[in-house]
A = this chain, B = another copy of it.
Amino acid sequence: MILKSQVEWALHCCAVLAGLPEGRYLSTKALAEFHGLPKEYLSKALQSLSQAKLVESTLGPSGGYRLARPASEVSFLDVVEAVEGKERSFVCSNIRANNPCRPEGFCDTGPCAIARIMWEADAAWRAKLRGVSLAALIQTLEQEVPPALWRSSGEWVKRRAG
C-alpha cells in the first residue's frame, strides 16, 4: 500500500505555488524543472489539483497555475485526496456473507466490525492530514531551509512566474 509518487509531486508543487507573488501563475514546465520531474506526467497531477478546484489555471505565455485559496485554507488532505482519491484504503468485500452457516436470505444490519475498525484508522490518518495546512508547511520550511537557498529558490520562482 504505497501512495502514488504524484502525491509527493503535488504537495511539493503546492508548496511552491503557496510562495508565488499575488496574481502570478507558474507553468507546468517551470514546476517540472524546479523539481526535476517529467513535465507531461506531472501535468496529470496538476490537472487533478485543478479538477479538485485547489488551483486555478490560465493559458498562454505567462500562464500556469496558482492556488485557488489562501495557503491557510488548503490542507494536506485536500491535496492527497485530489490526487489519490477520497476512497478509503480498506475495501470490505463482505466475505462474512460467504459463511456457510448463514441462513438463506440473511441480511446484515450494519458494516462488518473489521471494516469499521480499519475505517477508524483510515479516519485517523485523514484527520492528521486535515490538520496540516500549506501555510503551516511553508512556515516550517522557512524555518529549516537554509536562508540562502530559501531566497534563491524564491527568486527562481518569481523569475519564472512572469
Interface set of A (CB-CB < 8 Å, partner B): 1-5, 7-9, 11-12, 15, 33-37, 76, 84, 87, 89-93, 95-103, 106, 109-110, 113-115, 117-118, 120-122, 124-129, 132, 137, 140-141, 144, 149, 152-153, 155-156
Contacts and interface: CB of A to CB of B under 8 A. Distances in A.
What is the oligomeric copy number? Answer: 2
B153 A98 contact: no
A110 B125 CA distance: 23
Interface of A, secondary structure class, is helix
Nearest to A16: B99
A113 B140 CA distance: 7
B99 A35 contact: yes
B36 A89 contact: no
A152 B103 CA distance: 10
Contacts of A5: 91, 93
A35 B101 contact: no
23 contacts: A1-B3, A1-B4, A1-B89, A2-B89, A2-B90, A3-B89, A3-B90, A8-B95, A8-B115, A36-B97, A36-B98, A76-B117, A76-B121, A89-B89, A99-B153, A101-B152, A102-B149, A103-B149, A117-B129, A120-B128, A121-B128, A122-B125, A125-B125
